[in-house]
Amino acid sequence: MTNTPDPSPNTLLRSLGSWEAAAIVVGTIIGSGIFLVPKTMVLNVGTPGKVLFVWVVGGLLSLFGALTYAELAAALPHAGGEYVYLREAYGPFWSFVYGWTSLTVAKSGSIATLATAFAYYLANFFPALDNVLVRLPWRIGPGWQPLAISYGQVFAMALIALLGVVNYFGVKLGGRIQAHVTALKVGLILALTLAIAIWGAGSADNFRTAVPAVGGIAGWGAALVAALWAYDGWNNVNMVSSEIIEPQRNIPRALILGTLGVLALYLLANLAYFFVLSAPEVASSDRVAAAAARKFLGPAGGGAVALAALISIFAALNGSILSGSRVPFAMAQDGYFLSAVGRVHPRYRTPHVSLLLLSAWAMILTLSGRYEELYTYVIFASWILYGMTTASVFVLRRKRPDLSRPYRTIGYPVLPALFVLAAAFLVAVTLVHSPRESGMGLLVVAAGFPFFLYWQARRRS
């Protein structure tokens, strides 16, 4: 099927090809998690074998979701992704809840987390970024302590602003940057992984080491949350469906092959980590990949991994801003948000107001807490939405049997059902394990209800 651009000045253009679509999937999945979360995982489950098992489970769950999202994207290739699917399946209330949560917590929080992680790794070269710039007296920081703002957080805010401006000037520019940087980072991660395994003087005995762990449902759930943060982003390409050429073919291909590729890359990286590091060494290292690289590069190893992490996070951050801005845009186009947010730039054909809004809010969220708190906050809200969206494939098959479905979910109905059950489990575990972050997420979701009533009344009038 050939798609021709709509000449209407308020319509987004189909400018992204198959490579850009794949780069959005791979580039936004591979961010900072692969460099940071193995420590969290081993502390929760105890052994390298269990960590690898969690990586496989997280990857398969993400693949089940991608298989389902591929059907939804091929049938409804419009801007907004989940927003559109929830609207068609459940009505405007649930699509508004998704859009509201995406803007206020999920997508904006993911962007803030990535920018925070970028500054975290940049501090490897510029340690002064870790220094506190100002300490505010209000007890709204991590652990309800006074809020401390570091130079790194200020830098993270500036980086979000920069990429927001880049994507302001055209989706094709943002897509090209995404494709090139993603190719570079995959190559760097592969090169580092192979170098660690070959020259890191490792030992298979490391796979038999262990550390005291949380264990039980809480430990396994926390480890899976960490893994799923590293896999988060596979759904981003759906949000830019209206700007992808031949979406019925390119989106399913990008979702499925991209998710499988990332799963393989993550397993290779973790096998290399544990080949050269024992479980106690991984558990004591905030920068696991850097610690592994030092085994064969010495002090320069930390710098090499930090550079790879910076490139990786940059691509994920760019992809998240590019895709996430399409959700508030879709809300505004439906009349459930400020009308200005639904505008398309007459020259650059981007949702420029939505881009600026999302970037500004994400900049504010960079002040909200540490890396671990941010990703727990994001995953909790995201998996509520992922579960509901995946369930919409059942609803739409009954509600819209006449809907054209160029691609149908492999393993239906078993794989979508497994994904929905896993989403419910993850939400419950996170609520118990991290009640503060989860409670904040639920409050933000609930805060959207009066706004929905307002916009609904305004639409009627």
pLDDT by residue for the chain (461 residues), tens only, comes to 444 445 566 688 888 888 899 999 999 998 877 887 899 999 999 999 999 999 999 999 999 999 999 999 999 999 899 999 999 999 999 999 899 988 988 888 888 888 988 888 888 788 888 888 877 776 656 666 667 788 999 999 999 999 999 999 988 888 899 999 999 989 988 988 888 888 877 888 999 999 998 888 888 888 888 888 789 888 899 999 989 999 988 999 999 999 999 999 999 999 999 999 999 999 998 778 888 888 878 877 778 888 888 998 899 899 999 999 999 999 999 999 999 999 999 989 999 999 999 999 999 888 875 555 655 666 677 778 889 999 999 999 999 999 999 999 999 999 999 999 988 887 887 787 778 777 777 777 788 899 999 999 998 87
- Counting every residue written for the chain, the total comes to 461
Q: What is the pLDDT of residue 140?
A: 56
Cis peptide before 413 (omega within 30 of 0): yes
Q: What is the pLDDT of residue 431?
A: 81
Q: What is the pLDDT of residue 379?
A: 67
Q: What is the pLDDT of residue 206?
A: 92
Domain boundaries, the chain: 18-460
Are 273 and 192 within 8 A, CB to CB? Answer: no
Q: Quick one: fold of 18-460?
A: Amino acid/polyamine transporter I (1.20.1740)
Token reading at 218: 């809480």
pTM of the model: 0.86
**Three-state secondary structure call for residue 200:** coil
DSSP string, 126-158: -GGGGSEEEE-SSS-SGGGPPPEEEHHHHHHHH
**CA dist list (Å): 178 to 27, 51, 187:** 7, 30, 14
CA angle 74, 80, 84 (to 5 degrees): 65
Host H or E run for residue 203: none
Sign of the Cα torsion 29, 31, 37, 38 reads: positive
Q: What is the pLDDT of residue 156?
A: 94
Q: What is the pLDDT of residue 142?
A: 60
DSSP state of 2: -
Sequence-distant (6+) residues with CB within 8 A of 7 are none
Nearest to 458 by CA among 31, 171, 92: 92
Q: What is the pLDDT of residue 374?
A: 58
DSSP state of 277: S
**Three-state secondary structure call for residue 10:** coil
Sequence-distant (6+) residues with CB within 8 A of 382 are 106, 110, 232
Token reading at 394: 């059942």
